Amino acid sequence: MISEHLLGWYFSNKRILPWRETKDPYKIWISEIMLQQTQVATVIPYYQRWINSFPNIETLASADYNDVLKHWEGLGYYSRCKNIHLTAQSLGGKLPNTFHELIQLPGIGEYTAKTILAIAHNQQEVGIDTNLERIGFRLLGLKKKSKFNSNRVKKFLEKIQDKSKPGDFNQALMDLGSSFCQAKAVYCDPCPITAECKATLNDNPLEYPEIKKSKPIPTVNVAVCIISHNSKLLLIQRPQNKMLGGLWEFPGGKIKLGEPKENATTREVKEETGLIIKDPQYLGEVKHQYSHFKVSISLFYHRIDDISSIKIKENYIWTTMKGVDKFALPKANYKMLELFNKDISL
């Protein structure tokens, strides 16, 4: 009954999304990775640009990673981009169509594998993310978040899944979670399955499941220096195995406790590049927030004439201001460039 009401509503009200116009496993895989912890409206232009440039696995596998990373720039969680590229290179132009094979691939977890199988191959799998799990908790009237209750939800959703339309069932729950059954807002009256929802019957659906208290977000103080030479800027590529791996940035790093920010700047530049700078020009502060911490960036600028002592372990390049656009940078570096352009003219 739940599945019948849900699908009836879905076929009349489903969102028109570019990745729903295909059953191509590759395109569904790309969309699902992009959609993780990212809003649909944000993903649509990224997905369309990606598919235009990399319409299939073969094209993606043969593409230069810097170009691939530029297409991902701004989506965050850059390890996902790296895993997509690695996976494409490991395949013979085709994604496998079994759960056991998919789950072995870099960056493909249980949710993604089951969602691909349900939508692209019509297999009876339920890919359960936080949205689907929340709906399950509310339908069953479960408050306590635990492995036991999560397993109950999993079995329940698998039991009520429409066996003839598993992909539509998954996507119907996704649309329900984005419209009527959100984490911080519910609209129970128009919901097609509200009569079956125990949380609604208890008159307090927002309490299902219980919300964990968020921890305070720490702030990291960082000193960064934009260095120019012959009207070109220095960019260094971050190591692939670190946060924001593969992206390009200006030299800098953490300010030690009690260390003046000017001292931190000269120290970090010397440690990262071998270059010795004196009295860098202070440009101002840049604030940025990641998922688990904030950064407060003290931004400096220094023009250098002699670069004979440069010694950098990672890939680096001197590029014009216009040329910066060819490289994928963290969002914070674009904020730095805005501040830089207000005060400096190369």
CA distance 117 to 108: 12
Strand residue runs (E) in the chain: 219-229, 232-237, 248-249, 252-254, 281-289, 294-303, 316-319
Sorted by sequence, the CB contacts under 8 Å of residue 54 that are 6+ apart come out as 60, 63, 68, 71
What is the rounded CA–CA span in Å between residue 177 and residue 106? 27
125 is known as an active-site residue: no
Backbone conformation region of residue 308, classed left if phi is above 0, alpha if psi is from -120 to 50, else beta: alpha
Rounded distance between C-alpha atoms, residue 128 and residue 112, angstroms: 9
Q: Is the backbone of residue 295 left (phi > 0), alpha (psi -120 to 50) or beta?
A: beta
DSSP reduced 3-state for 116: helix
Of 4, 21, 32, 158, the active-site residue reads 32
Nearest-angstrom CA–CA distance, 338 and 42: 22
Give the C-alpha separation, 108 to 101, whole Å.
Answer: 10
Question: Which phi-psi region, left, alpha or beta, contains residue 318 (left: φ > 0; alpha: ψ -120 to 50)?
Answer: beta
CA 62 to CA 85: how far, in whole Å? Answer: 9
User: CB-based contacts of 184: which residues, under 8 Å, 6+ apart?
Assistant: 206
Instruction: Give catalytic residue positions.
Output: 32
